[in-house]
Amino acid sequence: MTLEVFYVDSCPNLQPTLNRVKEVLDETGLTANVVEQRVLDVSSAIAMRFLGSPTVQVNGVDVEPSARTSDEFGLTCRMYLSGERQEGVPPVQLLREAILAARDQYSANRVEE
């Protein structure tokens, strides 16, 4: 499993996001290759499906289901809905669900082989 954390320079939410990713991986007992990917320009943002800093993708899929069809790419800060408020770090629940879904997809693919 690969978790990519896309960010822009001086993003105050990068380290809290990395900490939260590690927390969820520890909680689930899963391992993943966590890759930090700096986004330098708008063309890179478009190519990486970067919806703002930080953006977290698990195996190339955004952790936020409602954002997966968005095309609002750019060098901005990203906000995540957490209950009724917005915050700059993806909620634990979003990360957990995305990581477990990737694990389940991997398991399903192995059964089909």
The predicted-structure confidence for 69-92, as pLDDT tens digits, reads as follows 999 999 999 999 888 899 999 999
pLDDT by residue (tens digit) across 5-20? 999 999 999 999 999 9
- Residue 33: give its domain's CATH number: 3.40.30
d(CA 47, CA 26): 30
Backbone angles phi, psi at 4, to 5 degrees: -110, 130
Tell me the residue range of the domain where 6 lies: 2-112
d(CA 60, CA 11): 21
Domains identified in the chain, total number: 1
For the chain, the distance separating the N- and C-terminal CA atoms, rounded to the nearest angstrom, is: 18
Cis peptide before 12 (omega within 30 of 0): no
Global pTM value: 0.90
Residue type at 34? Answer: V
d(CA 32, CA 90): 17
d(CA 36, CA 49): 15
Beta bridge pairs of residue 62: 57
